[in-house]
Amino acid sequence: MKKLITMTIIVMASIVGIIVMARLTLRDGGYSQRVFKKAGDTPIREEGLTSEEEEILLQLQDMLEIGQVPAPETMTGMYYYYLKQYFLREDVRLDKDTMERIRGELRHAKELTLLEKNADPGKMSCDGRTVARFLYMDIYRLSGLRIRINSEGEIEEIAKPSGELIFEKKFPEAPGSLHFEVAGVVLMVLGVLFLICLLTYKKGQIFEKGGDCREYNAKRIA
């Protein structure tokens, strides 16, 4: 009985050890990576931004000062950066009517930012974050882009209607997730361990029975 308990403990310890090792080997070393994808070989305008585009970007930049948070650390800073990169493309030309509609959406966004006292949608209230999310989606849509934003206000993807990616947030593998191959190896190792324990236990039983027989024979001879 003691041997059976010992074998069970060994098997359980082996299971825990294998799972821990598998989780450590599959753990991703960092957080999700944000990568700006260069849109093919699209040239950049030599003349730079138009006055209307600069005005729109200036409105976004002014919003970054609300809450006094450094631009790179805010989601609004990301909205600004990718919109600026898009405006600088040679193939992007927005008419005045579209620019005026974008300015209108930005005015609403600034009012919301002043109300929330923070430029970062991720740090706004739940309702404020939802409104900011739809406002930025409209701004990008009017600019000619399709943007996907999660419930936290983070940009997950920016693309042209044609499907050309401008930005893509790369999601790492969830820490500690197991592949089917690894799971198969773990099961095989556990099977071998169980078989070894079973054979060892049965062998111990045979020896015990042999000992009992020898003891019984010794008593008969005596």
d(CA 222, CA 217): 9
The low-confidence residues of the chain, meaning pLDDT below 50, are 24-40, 71, 174-176, 216
- Which pLDDT tens digit goes with each residue over 99-147? 999 999 999 998 998 898 887 777 888 898 899 889 989 999 999 999 9
Say if CB 94 and CB 117 are below 8 A apart: no
Residue closest to 14 by CA, chosen among 138, 181, 193, 161: 193
d(CA 176, CA 158): 29
The model's pTM: 0.57
pLDDT value of residue 30: 39
d(CA 9, CA 134): 56
d(CA 34, CA 94): 27
Say if CB 57 and CB 198 are below 8 A apart: no
Query: Quick one: CA dihedral 142, 144, 146, 150, positive or negative?
Result: negative
97 contact partners, CB below 8 Å, separation of at least 6: none
36 contact partners, CB below 8 Å, separation of at least 6: 82, 85, 166, 167
pLDDT value of residue 60: 83
The ranges assigned to domains in the chain are 2-26+176-221, 33-170
